[in-house]
Structure 1
Amino acid sequence: MFGQLIKNTWLLEVVSIITSCVAFAAIIGVLFHFDQTPVFDWHSISLNTLVSVLSTVTKTLLLITVSACLSQWNFIWFSKYRRPLIDFDVFDSASRGPIGSLSLLWRIKWRSVASLGALITILSLAIDPFVQSVVGLEESQAHSLGNSTSIARALRYSKGSMVTYETQFVGGQDGKTYRSGQTTADFSLQSAILFGLSSSRSSISQQTAARCSGAHCKWEPYSSLSICSTCNNITNQWTMTTTNHDDNPIFPQWMYLDESTGTYSVGGEVTRFEFSNGLYIDNTTEDVSLVAYSTTKRSQTVTFQQNKLLLWSLTTIRRLGDGNSVNDSRVLSAMECGLMYCVKNYTSEVINGTLYESSESLSLKTSPGSFQPLDNPSAVDPMPGQLNSVLIFPRSDLSLGGEYNISQLAVNGIGAAMIDVFSDPLKSTFYNDSGATGYYLGIPGTNKMAVPNSMQPIYESPDLDATFTNLAMSMSNSIRANDDNQALVTGTNSITIYKISWPWLALPLANLVGGCILLAFTISFTYRQSIPIWKSSALATLKVGAAVGPVLDERYIDGMEKQAEKTSFTLPKKPDERNDATEGLREAENLEMQTPQESFYNLGRNEDEESTSNVIRSFRGHSTM
């Protein structure tokens, strides 16, 4: 019963095309589900494997339907009009694969719906690569669990230490006497100061406390307590004075070489370039290449007197030439650079283990009550004009924007650390008490000397602004890494996800729609023209072929094809009905299908004629039983 349904109806083809559509819908569902999701590998089964299996099912069931339709069109094609017999071979070949389908398209063109089936058969060769191209991969960012992807930020910093002198008292500007003490910055920050002076910016940036569990990590912009730097060119802000000491040979005076006589002479005219904070340089000593003044007091700076967040400033005067024309201001340059507390907005990214970071300073002002004496906030500040102090009296935190804070202990410690690094601890009078806390000597023919040692990178720096930027960055890294609460910003880590390219499904979808249309037209033409459902049955082909008789009585295929080209053929509407269109034509030129008995009667005689007669007699005997 089931076998009859399969052979005599379109049940198999209908079920096949429906199942093919379901498999294709499953492909779409699977791809939609896994689009933009991380790549998976479940027991060695990947998404590509799953899609490939469904694609094979889709294509196989589609071709089952298309092949059956093409075979049926072999009979539909000859059911109404006389057609060249060679077309029968063309349709049969088309139902077997792409090569035959090409022949059908070439010969039939689009004169038959079967051409659609041939086109589907050919295009089905590309279904697998098209479906495989649908699944692509791309990098995406996903939030990591825990702190596997994190970077440090600072909301409050209070590192440092202090020693109080029990018997030493110092008077403040409020008229009171306070116990004094010595503060020290945290060791990591002291190290950061030296590292910032001696390292490149790329090396400093890699010292940021960041964790990245993959090859590419990103963080949304975030803010942190930091150190900012500013440098100003103050070359034209000095005061130049000239004094002649010929009549009063006392210091300062200088010696110069008289090249005409080869002797040294004492000159009494001294040219001095001096700033308001007391730092100056003159021509009494040509060997001094740089003088610097380090301070934490705003009032002792040239350009930072109104900056209430200044933690330290360095004023420098540098000789540009060999000093022979020191009285000419064109051979001198002066810069003043300062560090101040600030809040920066950071954008961070790690690519293959390298941190890339950009920052922008935010314009946040101190909060009300910031850094005020706790005992009496409304009283006169004992140490105005500077943040750090040796006086022991409690202050509130230095607060920026109400969210970012640094303790009094940290402020005092950082200020003390900057003075220690950039000031001569022996307070040398080598350079005539010029007000300098540091200098760099460039004595011709002898070794160079920097006092303190930090003056060497300051003097040798080709870009002092960049040097201070590096210094501020290094100190900021230390502050961010040592936040009181170990504040962290969690980021995203790179993962590989599926990227579905939906346009690649256009071809498989078009093939599937075409298969449905082909099946519908095939069923419709079959029933409208009362054609038996023979499809690809070999017996049906033999049944039709019996009508050919001696027309194809050739030994080789090329001979049969030549005969088939010259022979027209049609199927009768009824088994014993003759087609008027064939009347008057020779049998080899115009054939029509005959009844089963007639087909066998008209078999051509060949060399084994007797054997053929026996077959006919046997058939007749079987029929009468």
Structure 2
Amino acid sequence: MATHPPYPALHDGQSESDLEFERFEYLASPRMSVHRHASETEMGVSEIDGMTVHTQDPQTDTETKRPGFDWSGSWAWEIGSVTLAVVGLVLLVAFLVKINNTPYATWQYTASPNTVVSIIVTITKAAVLVSVSSCLGQLKWNLFQNPAPLYNMQVIDQASRGPWGSLEVLLRGIFGSKTGSLTYVGASLTVLALGVDPFAQQILTFPSRTVAALNATAFAQTSQQWYPIGDSEASDVFLELQPTLLTPIMSGLLQTHSPLEPQCNASSCEFPEFVALGMCSKCEDVTSRTNQKCQVPEYSAFWDDAHPAFRETPMNCSYQSPNNFSFDFDGFKSMEYGHDNNVTFHMFHWSSRPRESDPTFDIQTPIVSLIEVDYTNPVIYTLSNATAPPAKPLVTECAVYFCERRYSASSYLPGTRNSRPMHVVDTQQLITTDAPEESPFYSRPDPVHFAPPNGSATLSKNPSYNIDHQTFSSFEPTMMSIFNSTAVFSGNVSTSDVLNLATILRKGNLSQLLDSMSTSVTDALRANPHGNKIPGKAFRVETFIHVRWPWIILPVIVTLGSIALLLGTAIGSKHRKAVLWKCTVLPLLSSHLHTTPENEIASVRSVDGMTDKSKKMRAVMVQDEGPLTFREK
């Protein structure tokens, strides 16, 4: 196989040195290739001045290797990073939408929702900073397409490496230094990226809320009727109240009664309005409306040692209350003489006097009505009022009667001592429509029915109220026995010597005692097995995940800002036909800096000195076939 000379023949007029230069260029040319695997029979060998040159067969075409894609010299990595940032932002929004307002108990993963948010935001921020850093790195090259202070090369390069340099760019922009609007955008995004993580920690909160509790118990008890429960409720004495009702009467008067609580095994329960058969009481202070008639006694041993004027004192008095209770006092129990002819009288009397169901106030058929007379305050006489009648005793009239009680809709918190779930908002008296005959041995199997007086409508939608005859007939004698009490004592006798109801009734506020008794008996009537259950709504407190959407604004701004910065930088670089050096420093190592003699910077060996000179110099980047050159302008 013939071989070809590896270099052109020597032309006329060419020196040997020129020939050697051409030979060097020819040998170094990439068009010259040597196939290592070709057989020696297909190769020609030539020797020129001791050099052996292998030549390829002329029939074999030389192939030029096609260069690969310049990844670093393009925007491919930056486009990929902003794409990753957008994907991360979309995933973040989708994740937040999915978990927003969901119970925290349904989160079954090891990592908490805040951890997931932090991971997504961290990846997104890292992807954003890749693009922003590259854009800032490229902007420093674009800036020097036109004359600019040489120091700006350092400033923008520092901005591409972190927030401190970016903050310097922003501060210099405030004081008049111009590094380009895109540079300010990039520096701002770098600084704002510092707040992305704190903002991400504020996106999720975990407040508590009240939700319906499934399969929970919630009901209040009510009843519009009462019947004894078999023989166990029968009293050993005829017409005596059953223990299940006598006990509430006593616990109410002793004020040891615990209110009937609804059944609720959830965090809280709500109950609607309802009406129940119950007992009510009403008391009024009628002292001022009680009529008093007093007379002078014919003789009294009290006046033997007293001033004669006191013999005309009207000590014998009779009283009549507004509801026709009558009682008399025929004299005082003791008398004390004081200085200046003052006399103090003491009655030492307290009594509670019941009577059968006569109308009292506006109550037409009370179970029992009673009057409380309290004459325990001393009466002081002087010569100036010796003939005046004595002060009236304190007189209180009360009535206890059957009624219907309307309870308001309420909320109940189990275990809360101050919670009063069942609050009475209205009452209405009830009268019997078929009362039994007046006989102590009268008993019938059918119940006693009640209705509002004067044909008024009941508070309940169900107008039926009834109690068995035995219980109804037992209430009146029991009440008469309890409230028929009198105490006559001297001031030196301790009330703890004898424990009786007189001690309890006179030491307390009778109106409050009767109200407590009425509530206690009503609760007993409501809780009877023949009653009804008022269903309520049960609620529980759960922790849920709440998204505070305003806190996602900063990650969105940084991500969208990075996209805008990349587009602006790419378009500006293409318009200037600038090489995409970006953050690489190798071009600076191979570049030349041409300055005037007075601004010679290469020999400066202090940072401050070089910084001062670079701030004074304006340079422009020259890109030609030679090395990269910065020339002072």
TM-score, normalised by the number of residues in structure 1: 0.70
* CA apart distance, 1:90: 0.9
Question: What amino acid is aligned across from residue 361 of structure 1 in structure 2?
Answer: V
Residue number in structure 2 paired with 1:569: 619
The one-character-per-residue Cα deviations of 1:529-583 (angstroms, maximum 9, x if unpaired) are 222223222334445x44479734444433332332232222347656999xx9x
Deviates more, 1:99-108 or 1:318-327: 318-327
The one-character-per-residue Cα deviations of 1:401-428 (angstroms, maximum 9, x if unpaired) are 233765413x8637845753x5436xxx
* CA apart distance, 1:73: 1.5
| Distance in 1 separating the partners of 2:69 and 2:437 | 108
| Distance in 1 separating the partners of 2:77 and 2:490 | 103
| Distance in 1 separating the partners of 2:92 and 2:301 | 94
SS at match of 1:113: helix
Question: What amino acid is aligned across from residue 116 of structure 2 in structure 1?
Answer: L
Residue number in structure 2 paired with 1:350: 413
* CA apart distance, 1:113: 1.7
| Distance in 2 separating the partners of 1:72 and 1:65 | 11
The one-character-per-residue Cα deviations of 1:322-358 (angstroms, maximum 9, x if unpaired) are 3678963444232425453322214233276435126
Is 1:439 equivalent to 2:492 in the alignment? no
* CA apart distance, 1:143: 1.3
Residue number in structure 1 paired with 2:273: 222
* CA apart distance, 1:103: 0.8
In structure 2, relative to structure 1, the CA distance for the partners of 1:412 and 1:270 (3 Å cut) is: farther
Residue number in structure 1 paired with 2:52: none
Is 1:56 equivalent to 2:122 in the alignment? yes
Is 1:241 equivalent to 2:293 in the alignment? yes
The one-character-per-residue Cα deviations of 1:493-527 (angstroms, maximum 9, x if unpaired) are 22233343333223233223322322222222222
Report if the CA contact (8 A) 1:294-1:314 is conserved: yes
Question: What amino acid is aligned across from residue 334 of structure 1 in structure 2?
Answer: T
| Distance in 1 separating the partners of 2:565 and 2:441 | 93
% identical aligned pairs = 18
In structure 2, relative to structure 1, the CA distance for the partners of 1:455 and 1:572 (3 Å cut) is: farther
Residue number in structure 2 paired with 1:291: 351
Residue number in structure 2 paired with 1:171: none
Residue number in structure 2 paired with 1:169: none
- Counterpart mapping for 1:276-425 below 5 A: 276=323, 278=325, 280=327, 282-284=329-331, 289-294=349-354, 297=357, 300-306=358-364, 313-319=369-375, 321-322=377-378, 328-338=390-400, 340-350=403-413, 353-357=416-420, 359-362=423-426, 372-373=433-434, 381-382=435-436, 391-395=443-447, 398=450, 400=458, 401-403=460-462, 406-409=465-468, 413=471, 416=474, 420=478, 422-424=479-481
Is 1:86 equivalent to 2:151 in the alignment? yes
| Distance in 2 separating the partners of 1:296 and 1:94 | 101
| Distance in 2 separating the partners of 1:563 and 1:452 | 109
Is 1:560 equivalent to 2:620 in the alignment? no
Larger C-alpha radius of gyration, 1 or 2? 2
* CA apart distance, 1:95: 1.3
**Residue from 511, 516, 519 that aligns with 1:470:** 516
Aligned residues: 522
* CA apart distance, 1:105: 0.7
Q: CA RMSD in A?
A: 4.3
SS at match of 1:61: helix
In structure 2, relative to structure 1, the CA distance for the partners of 1:563 and 1:244 (3 Å cut) is: closer
SS at match of 1:571: strand
Residue number in structure 2 paired with 1:195: 251
Question: What amino acid is aligned across from residue 62 of structure 1 in structure 2?
Answer: V
Report if the CA contact (8 A) 2:363-2:429 is conserved: no
**Residue from 551, 566, 579 that aligns with 1:532:** 579
In structure 2, relative to structure 1, the CA distance for the partners of 1:271 and 1:128 (3 Å cut) is: same
Question: What amino acid is aligned across from residue 166 of structure 2 in structure 1?
Answer: S
Residue number in structure 2 paired with 1:45: 111
SS at match of 2:481: coil
In structure 2, relative to structure 1, the CA distance for the partners of 1:112 and 1:371 (3 Å cut) is: same
SS at match of 2:206: strand
Report if the CA contact (8 A) 2:404-2:429 is conserved: no
Residue number in structure 2 paired with 1:605: none
Q: Structure 2 unaligned runs (5+)? A: 1-65, 334-346, 382-387, 452-457
Question: What amino acid is aligned across from residue 518 of structure 1 in structure 2?
Answer: L
* CA apart distance, 1:22: 3.2
* CA apart distance, 1:104: 1.0
- Counterpart mapping for 1:120-199 below 5 A: 120-148=189-217, 150-158=218-226, 160=228, 182=239, 184-185=241-242, 187=244, 189-199=245-255
Report if the CA contact (8 A) 1:311-1:341 is conserved: no
| Distance in 2 separating the partners of 1:283 and 1:529 | 126
In structure 2, relative to structure 1, the CA distance for the partners of 1:350 and 1:438 (3 Å cut) is: same
* CA apart distance, 1:91: 0.9
Is 1:551 equivalent to 2:551 in the alignment? no
Report if the CA contact (8 A) 1:372-1:396 is conserved: yes
**Residue from 264, 271, 274 that aligns with 1:211:** 264
Report if the CA contact (8 A) 2:350-2:373 is conserved: yes
Report if the CA contact (8 A) 1:231-1:465 is conserved: yes
In structure 2, relative to structure 1, the CA distance for the partners of 1:469 and 1:135 (3 Å cut) is: farther
**Residue from 545, 564, 569 that aligns with 1:522:** 569
Question: What amino acid is aligned across from residue 82 of structure 1 in structure 2?
Answer: P
The one-character-per-residue Cα deviations of 1:356-382 (angstroms, maximum 9, x if unpaired) are 12624246787xxx9655xxxxxxx54
Residue number in structure 1 paired with 2:141: 75
TM-score, normalised by the number of residues in structure 2: 0.70
